[in-house]
Amino acid sequence: MILGPAGVFVAGVLSVGHALNLKVPCGPQSGCDVVSQHSSAFWFGVPVAYFGLAGYLALTVLAALLATQPTHAIRLRKVGLAMSGFGVGTSAWLTYTALSVIKARCDWCLASAAIMTLTFVGYGVLCLQKSKPEKRHPWGLTVLGAGVFLALAGVGLQGAEMKKAADQPGQITPAVALTVETLAPRPEYFLGPPEAPITIVEYADFYCPACREMYLTMKSIYDQGRGYIRIAYRHLPFFEKAGHEQALTAAVIAEYAATQGKYWDWIEAVFTAPLESINTYPKLLALAKKIGLNEKELAAKIESEDKSLLQPIETDIANARKMRVDSTPSFVIFAEGVETVGVRMNKLVETLGQPEYQKLINPSQTPGPVPSPSPSPTQGP
């Protein structure tokens, strides 16, 4: 009666995060979002959290039947043992995958694994009791109903908090030594003059629909910044996610393009190309050749997993995790005399429109609006 609603709450919060594409609050390493985007977090294209929620709801119903149907207690106990046993096995596999393969910790997932394990132990103890209960416990329904109500209310409140957090500028972790050079150490990564008072570092995935839509807005912001804004593009490829399988390869090609002086040529080529024209490795090589890159040399470096191209991307991912940047597109804004902030796409234009930024963008003019983006797509990878 306690564990069922507890599981409903945990799986419910994870399900809301998936359904609304919201960041689930997690520990300092933000492992929950990393795990939730991995291919192992989806069965047949459906988030595992949805199956978990359905399972906990079924176990909650089972608890209600046990309280009110003593004549079927032995059979119901066996059903509960089988269901929770399957849940324990699934939780063990998912936990192993998260910690050993993804190398990230999801506290919500660990909580679910603990709840399911305790449920399995509880049913195991009940199954050892051969006798049937002598009477019904109708008060159990009251307890169970209250538990479910509290669980669903908790899911709703947590979902509201997650939505509120999504609408606020992201907070950069103070422990990270934040400098422009830390995040974008090479001049090839920048578009705009080094002396520009505002620098925007964007973390994006070439196959993220929101990033692709945001590219035109970023160009408009840069053009209307009139030399007072420069932009750096960095990588956060969700290559484990369906539809993003070539995201890492595209990022590697970008790093190769940087060595050839064609970094921004590649960025524009990928973001403006139809997705169906860049959804395979050969098509990416063909696009690279089209902008003047050496196709044979590039293919050799990709196939040999050239560390000089992979290392910058690994550093980008590590920096993003440290700063809790875990969705794309996300932006880190550096400005003279202004505290460094991280914002999501739905807050970028609004943030740049604030007086402290407008003074830097329009130093000799009355502060004016920055360009408004086209209707924003759903944020996410």
The segments of the chain whose pLDDT lies below 50 read: 174-175, 366-369, 371-381
> Which has the closest alpha carbon to 378: 219, 234, 145, 163?
163
Number of H helices, E strands in the chain: 15, 7
The residues, any chain, with a CB within 8 Å of residue 166's CB and separated by 6 or more, are 22, 23, 344, 346, 379
Burial grade of 143 (CB within 10 A; 0-12, 13-18, 19 or more): middle
The residues, any chain, with a CB within 8 Å of residue 23's CB and separated by 6 or more, are 17, 33, 162, 165, 166, 326, 327
φ/ψ (deg, to 5) at 198: -125, 130
The residues, any chain, with a CB within 8 Å of residue 179's CB and separated by 6 or more, are none
pTM: 0.58
Kindly indicate whether the domain formed by 180-361 is annotated with CATH number 3.30.70.370: no
Is there a common fold for 3-166 and 180-361? no
Interatomic CA distance for residues 152 and 149, integer angstroms: 5
Strands 229-235 and 198-204: parallel
Residue 373: predicted pLDDT: 45
Residue 376: predicted pLDDT: 40
Residue 374: predicted pLDDT: 43
288-332 pLDDT per residue, tens: 999 999 999 999 999 999 999 999 999 999 888 888 787 889 999
Which CATH superfamily includes the segment(s) 3-166?
A: VKOR domain (1.20.1440.130)
Interatomic CA distance for residues 176 and 178, integer angstroms: 6
Cβ–Cβ under 8 Å, residues 236 and 317: yes
Enumerate the domain spans of the chain. Answer: 3-166, 180-361
Residue 51's Cα: distance from chain center in Å?
19
- Three-state SS for 38-72 is CHHHEECCEEHHHHHHHHHHHHHHHHHHHHHCHHH
